Chain A
Amino acid sequence: MSKRMLVVLLLLVALVGTTFAGCKPAGPSTIKIGGIGPVTGEASTFGVSTRNGYEMMIEEWNAKGGVLGKKIELVFADDKGDPTEAATATQKLINEDKVVAIAGTVMSKCSLSMAPICQSSGIPMVSPTSTNPRVTAVGDYIFRACFIDPFQGTVGAMFAYNNLNARKAGVLFDNSNDYTKGLAEYFRDKFTQLGGTIVAFEGHPAGTTDFTPFLTKILAGKPDVIYCSDYYNDDGLMAKQARQLGFTGPFLGGDGWDSPDLVKIGGDAVNNAYFTNHFSKDDQRPEVQDFVKKYTAKYGQAPDALAALGYDAMGIILQAIQNAGSTDGAKIRDAIKNIEYHGVSGVIKFDENRNPIKSAVIIKIENGQQVYKATVNP
C-alpha cells in the first residue's frame, strides 16, 4: 500500500513540477537558434568546423548587442552523420527548445531527413553545406548557404574556357554517382555552349582502379584539359595514370578534390590541377582575412570551407531576423528569400528554388600545396 502511495506522490510531484515549469515569466529574454552538425561519427571534423562557425557568428552578434534587442542563444545538437539522429535532434530543437530557426546540417542525407520536419513546423532551415539539389526542393522554408552540385560544373567550364584558354576538353566521371555525374554533365553543357569541344565524355563504373582505357580514349582527342569530377581517391589515381600516358596539361575538378590524401595518392601527378571550392583561406578579400584571423585566434587552426559555410549559414539567419524585425517563422522565411548577404564564402542571394547565387573559388595544386587562384562569379 505504501509503495503505491509513493508512486502516486511521485506522479503528483512530477505533475506539479511540469505545471510550474510551464509558468516561467512570459516573453523569453533570449532568442534561441538551433544548430545541427555531425560532431561525432564518420564526418566529425566537418561537424566540429561547422559548429565553430555557428558559435563565432553568434558571439559576434551578441558582442554588438544581439538581435532585436535580445541576446542570441545557440542550442546545438549532434546528428552523428545519421539521418535518424538528425530527425530526432530537429524534433527536440523545435518542440522542446522552441528555437525560431535552425542552421543545419552538413550532409545532404541528414538535411533531407530534417527538412520535412522544419517545413511542416514552419521553422526556417539553412543548411551550410548540403549540396544535393533535392534538399531545398522539400519546401519554401528550406535554404542553403552553399552552391549546388551543377553549379560547380558550370563554373569549371567557364574557368577552363576563359582562364585556361582550353578549347578541347575530355571528361571522366563515376557513372554510378549523382554528384560526379551531375558535375560532368553541367561542365559538358557549359563548355560546348561557350564554343569548346568535348573530345570524349567517359563514365567509369564504381570501384574502378584502372582508368587507362578511358584516359587513352580521351587523350586520343588531344584535349587541352581533363575534367575529373570524382572524389579525391579516384582523382589521384586518374591524374597519375593520365600523366603516365603522357598528358601534361591541367586537370580540373570539383570540391571532391579537397583532401590531404589527394597528394599522397597522386604524388607529382596532381600538380597543375585546379578545382572549384566554396571558400579559400587565401582569398584576399578583407572580410575573409578578418574571419581567418579571428577564427585562428579562437580555435588554434585555420578555418576550412565547412567553418566558413557554418559561419555564413548562421549569419544569414541572424541577418534575416534583424531584417524581418520578428521571430515569426514565416517572416524570417520571407526575409531570407529577399536577403543579399555578404558572407565570407561570397555574396549570397537566393534564386526561386532557394539556392544561393554566389561565387566559387578556384584552387590550384602547386608542389603538393593548395594555392588560391581566382574567384569566379556565376
Chain B
Amino acid sequence: MSGIFNLQQLINGIQLGSIYALIAIGYTLVYGIIKLVNFAHGDFYMLGTYAAYFAINFIMAQRGTPNVGVILLISMATGALVAFLSNRIAYRKLRYKPRLSALITAIGVSMFLEYFSSALPFIGPSYRPFPQFLSIRYFNIGTAHFTNYQLINVSIAVALMLILTYIIKYTPLGMAMRASSQDKDALRLMGIDLERIIDYTFIVGGSLAGAAGLLAGLTYPRIVPYMGIVPGLKAFIAAVLGGIGNILGAMLGGFILGIAEVVGYAINSIVGEGIAYAILIVVLIFLPQGLFGKRTGEKV
C-alpha cells in the first residue's frame, strides 16, 4: 500500500487539482450568473496553452528569455478575449431563449474552437511539444519529490484564487457579480448594466482558464487542440461536486477531484477513473447541492 496513500500522491493530486480548480471556477462563475453550463470553457484553457506556446517560441526565437509573468498575462488575456467573444457572438443573443438552446450553443462553440484550431495550419491536429524554457530544479520532503515547476504551478493557482476571492468579496464589480447571481431584477433597479457584468464574468473565468492552460503546458509538455475536452469535463464535475455557483466550492472541488483521481488510479489503474466518479455520485446522492452549495429549492 506504500505507493498509494503517501505524501507523494498527495503532491501529485494537488498539482492536478490546481488545474481542475482554476477551470472549475470559470464554470461556476458563469453558471452562478446566467445558469449556463459553458462547455466551451475547456477550450478557453486549450487556447491559453497555445498562446503561451507561441509566445514562448517567439521570444526564444528572438534569443530572449521568456518571463513566466509575461507569458502568464498573455495566456490569461487570450483566455479572456476568447471567452468575451464567445459570449458576445454566441451566447448573448440567446440570453432569454430556452436554456437548452444556450447549452447546445455552448457545445457548438466548444467543437468550433477545437476543430477550427486543428484546421489552422499553424496549430494543426497533431501533438506538439511545449517548449521547456525554465531549467528544472528538484526538491525533496522525506521520500517525496517535487520540482520548481510544481511550486510555480500551485503558487500561481493559489495566488489567482486569492485575488479572485478579493475581487468577489471586496470590490464593486464583485458585489455586482454576487448581486446578479441573486436577483437580476433588483440589479437592474439599482441601475447596473447586467450585460456588462456578464462580460466581466466571462473575462474573469476565461482568464483563469487561460492561466490553467499555461500551467498545464508547463507540467504536461505535449499539447493538442483536443486537450481541453477531458480536463474541461472533469472541472465541470469538480464544480458540481463543490456546489455549482459556489466559488470556494469549485476550488475545493477541483482539489478533491484531483486527489481522488490520483489515489483512484494508484489503487487500481483500470478502475481508477471510476473510483473518482463513484465518490462524486455518492456525494451527490447525500448532498444534491454539492459539498458547499446552498440548499435552496428551485424558484417557481
Contacts and interface: CB of A to CB of B under 8 A. Distances in A.
Interface centre among A212, A214, A237, A240 (most CB of B within 10 A): A212
Interface residues of B, number: 38
B12 interface: yes
B220 A237 contact: yes
B101 interface: no
Interface stretch (A45-53, A124-132, A202-210): A202-210
Contacts of A203: 269-270
Interface in A216-232: 216-221
A17 interface: no
Contacts of A200: 3
Contacts of B6: 216, 220
B18 to A, nearest CB: 12
Nearest to A202: B269
Contacts of B149: 244
A268 to B, nearest CB: 8
A233 interface: yes
B11 to A, nearest CB: 8
A246 B263 CA distance: 19
Given A220-B3, A244-B138, A237 B222 contact: yes
B269 A204 contact: yes
B12 A210 contact: yes
B105 interface: no
B289 interface: no
A265 interface: yes
Contact of A210 (B16, B132, B145): B16
A245 B8 contact: yes
Given A212-B262, A214-B266, A267 B132 contact: yes
Contact of A246 (B15, B145, B150): B145
Contacts, number: 82
A244 B145 contact: yes
B270 to A, nearest CB: 6
B269 A175 contact: yes
A216 B12 contact: yes
B145 A213 contact: no
A189 interface: no
Contact of A213 (B12, B132, B221): B12
A293 interface: no
A282 interface: no
A210 B19 CA distance: 11
Contacts of B2: 220
B285 interface: no
A214 B273 CA distance: 12
Interface residues of A, number: 30
B267 to A, nearest CB: 9
Nearest to A207: B230
A5 to B, nearest CB: 53
B187 interface: no
Contacts of B145: 244-246
Nearest to A216: B8
Contacts of B136: 244, 268
B118 to A, nearest CB: 14
A246 B129 contact: no
B62 interface: no
A236 interface: yes
B227 A209 contact: yes
B181 interface: no
A217 B4 contact: yes
A89 to B, nearest CB: 26
Nearest to B13: A213
B272 interface: yes
A261 interface: yes
Given A202-B269, A203-B270, A212-B262, A237 B127 contact: no
Contact of A261 (B16, B129, B150): B129
A236 B269 CA distance: 20
B93 to A, nearest CB: 34
B54 interface: no
A80 B10 CA distance: 48
A298 interface: no
A213 B269 CA distance: 9
A264 interface: yes
B129 A264 contact: yes
Given A209-B227, A233-B127, A244-B145, A216 B221 contact: no
A265 B8 CA distance: 23
Interface in B185-240: 216, 219-222, 227, 230
A237 B221 contact: yes
B135 to A, nearest CB: 10
Interface string B244-269: 00000000000000000111111001
Interface string A252-287: 000000000100110110000000000000000000
Nearest to A261: B129
A203 B147 CA distance: 25
B274 to A, nearest CB: 10
B91 interface: no
B146 interface: yes
Contact of A175 (B15, B138, B222, B270): B270
5 contacts: A202-B269, A213-B261, A217-B3, A233-B222, A244-B138
Given A210-B220, A261-B129, 19 more contacts: A204-B269, A209-B216, A209-B220, A209-B222, A210-B262, A212-B12, A212-B262, A213-B12, A213-B266, A214-B269, A216-B12, A220-B2, A236-B221, A236-B222, A240-B221, A244-B136, A244-B145, A265-B130, A267-B132
